């Protein structure tokens, strides 16, 4: 089964985790149901703090605290975006997918407590964020609702992160990981020669980004993300 996935080339980004999941499934689980699925929709990613940092100077005394010129606290704000995912259902239950997303989170630094009385200020910087990922998807058919029209699923994946600051001043790259679940909601069977089903996809994910614009003690950011989009099956 692993070699079959490789021949389609669509799950290479899924990596070892996907291979392990698929290897556990019997060949009999394969089905003639539509194999190809495309979803396009909106994405909302939560914000996350990068922590505080003070602008300090060495005091003119032996030992003691440093002199604080001003204080900063930096966050990435929540942001919306767009996402497209292409899924290939290897079996009735298991699929491999690749996804691409674009969003525009803002990096903001709050500046406070200036020693010479400058007013507090929030200084932003716009960031364009691009992610390309591969993931494994498992449909939970036994938990389907509404006579099979609502099908829950689980997903996990890994991806490439590219974040571009405003004016293309700086490009940072990193790795993303996500895990979560959601539901496929089928509206109707179309049964045209090329289009089989139309529906919606809603999912919630926990995401982690290593590298990129993230800084602070942890060097990564974690946040929740939600997606909602239209789904076509072929």
Helix (H, G, I), strand (E, B) or coil at 46: coil
In whole angstroms, give the CA distance from residue 120 to residue 13. 45
Near another protein in 30-89, by CB under 8 A: 50, 53-62, 66-67, 69-70, 72, 74
Per rule CB under 8 A, count of chain residues that contact another protein: 38
The residue within the footprint of another protein, chosen from 19, 109, 175, 222 (CB under 8 A), is 109
Nearer to another protein, 116 or 194 (CB): 116
In whole angstroms, give the CA distance from residue 32 to residue 192. 15
Cβ 98 vs Cβ 123: under 8 Å: no
Contact status: 165 vs another protein (CB under 8 A) = yes
Number of residues that make up the chain: 234
Across 145-170, b (16+ Cβ under 10 Å) vs e yields eeeeebbbbebbbbbebbbbeeeeee
Instruction: In angstroms, give the least distance from the CB of 195 to another protein.
Output: 45
Contact status: 170 vs another protein (CB under 8 A) = yes
Contact status: 114 vs another protein (CB under 8 A) = yes
Q: Residue 138 has which token pair?
A: 């498992």
Nearer to another protein, 118 or 189 (CB): 118
Q: Residue 45 has which token pair?
A: 């990613």
Query: Which residue's structure tokens are 């070699």?
Result: 3
Nearer to another protein, 117 or 148 (CB): 117
Contact status: 112 vs another protein (CB under 8 A) = no
In whole angstroms, give the CA distance from residue 95 to residue 87. 6
Which chain residues interact with another protein by CB under 8 A? 50, 53-62, 66-67, 69-70, 72, 74, 107-109, 111, 114-118, 121, 123-125, 165-167, 169-170, 213, 215-216
């Amino acid at each position: 089964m692993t070699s079959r996935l490789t021949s389609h080339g669509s799950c290479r980004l899924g990596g070892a985790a996907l291979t392990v999941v698929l290897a556990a499934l019997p060949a009999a689980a394969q089905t003639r149901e539509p194999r190809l699925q495309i979803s396009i929709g909106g994405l909302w990613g939560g914000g996350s703090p990068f922590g505080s940092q003070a602008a300090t100077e060495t005091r003119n005394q032996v030992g003691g605290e440093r002199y604080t010129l001003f204080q900063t606290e930096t966050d990435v704000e929540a942001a919306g975006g767009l996402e497209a995912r292409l899924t290939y259902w290897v079996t009735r239950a298991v699929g491999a997918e690749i996804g691409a997303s674009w969003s525009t989170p803002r990096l903001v630094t709050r500046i406070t407590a200036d020693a010479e009385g400058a007013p507090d200020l929030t200084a932003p910087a716009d960031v364009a964020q691009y992610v390309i990922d591969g993931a494994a998807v498992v449909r939970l058919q036994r938990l389907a609702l509404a006579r099979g029209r609502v099908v829950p699923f689980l997903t996990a994946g890994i991806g490439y992160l590219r974040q571009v600051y405003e004016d293309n001043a700086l490009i940072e790259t990193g790795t993303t990981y996500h895990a979560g679940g959601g539901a496929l909601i089928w509206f109707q069977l179309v049964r045209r020669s090329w289009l089989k089903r139309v529906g919606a996809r809603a999912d919630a994910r926990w995401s982690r980004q290593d590298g990129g614009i993230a800084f602070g003690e942890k060097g990564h950011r974690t946040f929740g993300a939600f997606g909602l989009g239209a789904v076509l099956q072929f």
